[in-house]
Amino acid sequence: MPRKHPGPSLGMWPQERLSPLEMYQKGAEMTAVLESAARSFVEHPSYGTGWHRVCAVEDLEPAWGEAALIAGRQVALFRTVSGEVYAVAQEDPATGAHVMARGITGSRGPRPTLASPLHKEVYDLGTGECLGTPGLRLQTFGTRIVGGYIEVEL
> Quick one: pLDDT at residue 8?
41
Domain total of the chain: 1
Domain assignment of residue 140, yes or no:
yes
User: To which H or E segment does residue 24 belong?
Assistant: helix 20-30
Write out the residue range of the structural domain in which residue 89 sits: 32-153
Domain assignment of residue 12, yes or no:
no
Domain assignment of residue 27, yes or no:
no
CB 129 within 8 A of CB 35: no
DSSP 21: H
The mean predicted confidence, pLDDT, of the chain is 80
CATH number at residue 76: 2.102.10.10
Domain assignment of residue 109, yes or no:
yes
Domain assignment of residue 7, yes or no:
no
> Quick one: pLDDT at residue 58?
95
The string of pLDDT tens digits covering residues 45-75 is: 433 359 999 999 999 999 999 999 999 999 9
Confidence of residue 38 (pLDDT cuts 50, 70, 90): very low
State the Cα–Cα distance between residues 23 and 29, nearest whole angstrom.
Answer: 10
Q: Residue 51's closest CA among 59, 43, 39, 60?
A: 43
b/e burial code for range 31-66 (CB count within 10 A of at least 16 → b):
ebebebeeeeebeeeeeeeebbbbbeeeebeeeebb
Percent above pLDDT 90 for the chain? 68
Q: What is the dihedral of CA 5, 11, 14, 15, to 10 degrees?
A: 70
Domain assignment of residue 23, yes or no:
no
Asked if residue 9 has pLDDT above 70, the reply is no
The string of pLDDT tens digits covering residues 100-135 is: 999 999 999 999 999 999 999 999 999 999 999 999
Domain assignment of residue 46, yes or no:
yes
Domain assignment of residue 15, yes or no:
no
